[in-house]
Amino acid sequence: MTVEQGLLDTTSEGGALVLAAAGSWTLTTAAALTRTLAAIQAPPGDHGKDRGPSEERVRLDLGRLVALDTVGALLLRQFRDRLLREGHPVLIVNVRPEHIALIDAVWHAAEVEPLPSEPGPSLRDAVETVGRTSLRAVRAAVEMISFFGLVCTALFRVLVRPGRLRLTALVYHMDHTGLRCLPILGLLSFLIGVVLAYQGAEQLRRLGAEIYVVNLLGLSILREIGILITAIIVAGRSGSAFTAQIGTMKVNQEIDALRTLGLDPMELLVVPRILALMLVMPLLTFYANMVALSGGAVMSYLLLDINFYQFVTQMRIPIDFWDATVAMIKAPVFALVIGMVGCYEGLLVSGSAESVGLRTTRSVVESIFLVIVLNAFFSVLFSTIHI
């Protein structure tokens, strides 16, 4: 047996099994030691017979150990416990002084009972969690309504005194939220129109009513899909940008500096952004509707051989004035909500960069959620009044 491998020399002395540990009992030799110790079987004996210290059937000699770490000491403990369970008392002899403290510490730690596991969630905990979440949601809604009042007040002051409006900032934000949004909005709207036309054609072809794909596209895009796609893209692009910009200013204490100078952050930061978004949102919605219908027309021509003249003629049958303008009524409201949420979350940023990312995420989620809720409200309202 090689001493450096940390294996055991096994001998028999007076009917007792003598195990001489040698070499290194460390983490690097743990795998070989585990296999060696598992293969050792103590000689059978009379479990009930009383023996003195010198009559132990297994003796573990540690005098030749070169190195010992926590893993090796734990293997010794596990080996001794196994032999004790099998009815073979173990006598440990020739322990080096430098190993005594480590063996005592590891063996004592092994005797400590594990901490009791925490009980699983109860019904009371679930109800408490729901209650706290509901209270936070109500508190956030109240604060949002209060901020909406501040926004309305600031907008009213600007309308009464137009000279207070910063036209440079207004045009700048119209460019960033409107003109620079056209490429991504156009691409997604075109693809949405293609997908709707393809799926509608696949279903209506079974009924021999392929021509009604045009009706489906006209009503769905002009009333619902176009404005929803526009609002979601604007919320993810412009709403998050509002939060990040104002939040960064909050972290850099620029907003505090504005208040120190006697300037109103609502008029300087919030009003231009919201007004710019409300002005460009109807234009973006109209653009998205036209591009989505163009995508549907292209797919209808490729799949159903419906040319563009037939497409326009057929679409004019189910579409009336309100179908074409209902999205334009929703657009400024959605823009107000998206801009207000983006600015509100930006003003709530605390003095850390992590807070900027957290509030930006919350801004996008809250904006899209409120847009979908408002869209459902408008759908029910317009259906009730027959629009």
Question: What are the φ and ψ backbone dihedral angles of 344, each rounded to 5 degrees?
Answer: -65, -45
Cα torsion at 372, 373, 379, 381 (round to 10°)? -160
pLDDT for position 43:
61
Beta pairing, strands 8-13 & 90-93: unpaired
Are the CB atoms for 359 and 247 separated by under 8 Å?
yes
Beta-carbon contacts of 368 under 8 Å, excluding residues fewer than 6 positions away, are 231, 232, 235, 236
pLDDT for position 15:
62
Q: Which domains does the chain have, with CATH numbers?
A: 3-43+55-111 (3.30.750.24), 136-384 (no CATH)
pLDDT for position 80:
79
Specify the 3-state DSSP secondary structure of 309. helix
Distance between CA atoms of residues 297 and 311, nearest Å: 7
pLDDT for position 54:
42
Among the listed residues 188, 269, 268, the one whose alpha carbon sits nearest the alpha carbon of residue 236 = 188
Are the CB atoms for 213 and 307 separated by under 8 Å?
no
Q: Tens-of-pLDDT digits for all 387 residues of the chain?
A: 333 444 667 776 666 677 777 777 777 777 787 887 777 776 665 444 444 444 456 777 777 777 878 877 787 778 778 877 777 777 777 777 777 777 777 776 655 454 455 566 678 878 888 899 899 889 988 998 998 999 999 888 888 888 888 888 899 999 999 889 999 999 999 999 999 998 888 888 888 777 888 888 888 898 889 999 999 999 999 999 999 999 888 888 888 888 888 888 888 889 999 999 999 999 999 999 999 999 999 988 888 888 888 888 888 888 888 888 888 999 999 999 999 999 999 888 887 778 888 889 999 999 999 999 999 999 889 888 887
Beta-carbon contacts of 60 under 8 Å, excluding residues fewer than 6 positions away, are 19, 21, 76, 79, 80, 90, 91, 92, 93
Among the listed residues 292, 363, 377, 269, the one whose alpha carbon sits nearest the alpha carbon of residue 333 = 377
| CA 343-346-350 angle, 5° bins | 155
| CA 352-357-359 angle, 5° bins | 90
Distance between CA atoms of residues 376 and 369, nearest Å: 11
